[in-house]
Amino acid sequence: MDKFTEMAEKLEKMSAGEKKQAMIETRAMCICGECPTYSTCMKEKDELLYCLNGKSVCPAVMKGCICPTCPVTGMIGLVKAYYCARGSEQEIRG
Ligand code: SF4
Ligand code: SF4
């Protein structure tokens, strides 16, 4: 089992409170705000953590993706990118 699948299973087993806390802590590590693709619309909607939350409600014009350099990538074993445009890691994997 790969790291991301392990993490997803761990999240599933958490209580609602534990899951909420884990999401808050992971969101705080998200560097989307520094990305060229991160738009004013995304900022106004206070969106982050697309890798787990899924795609943006705003149109995403792909100008580069810095997800591979984000600490969350290594921590939870992400292998994809452009989550704001394409959906969460889980959704992209299908
Ligand atoms: S991997 Fe990308 S979407 Fe996920 S927390 Fe990091 S910067 Fe945000
Ligand atoms: S998901 Fe990737 S492309 Fe989208 S804003 Fe975050 S770092 Fe940029």
What is the DSSP code (8-state) at residue 35?
S
Q: Do residues 64 and 35 lie in contact, with contact meaning Cβ atoms separated by under 8 Å?
A: yes
CA separation for the pair 32, 67 (Å, rounded): 7
Q: Measured from the CB, is residue 4 less than 6 Å from ligand 2? A: no
CA separation for the pair 55, 1 (Å, rounded): 25
Distance 63 CA to ligand 2 centre (A): 9
CB-based contacts of 77: which residues, under 8 Å, 6+ apart?
A: 2, 3, 4, 5, 6, 7
Q: Is the pTM of this model over 0.75?
A: yes
Residue ranges making up the domain that contains 45: 3-93
Q: Do residues 58 and 45 lie in contact, with contact meaning Cβ atoms separated by under 8 Å?
A: yes
Give how many domains the chain has, as a whole number: 1
Q: What is the pLDDT of residue 46?
A: 98
Mean pLDDT, each 10-residue run in order, the chain (94 residues): 94 96 97 98 98 98 98 97 98 95
Ligand 1-lining residues (CB < 6 angstroms): 30-32, 48-51, 67, 70, 72-73, 78, 83
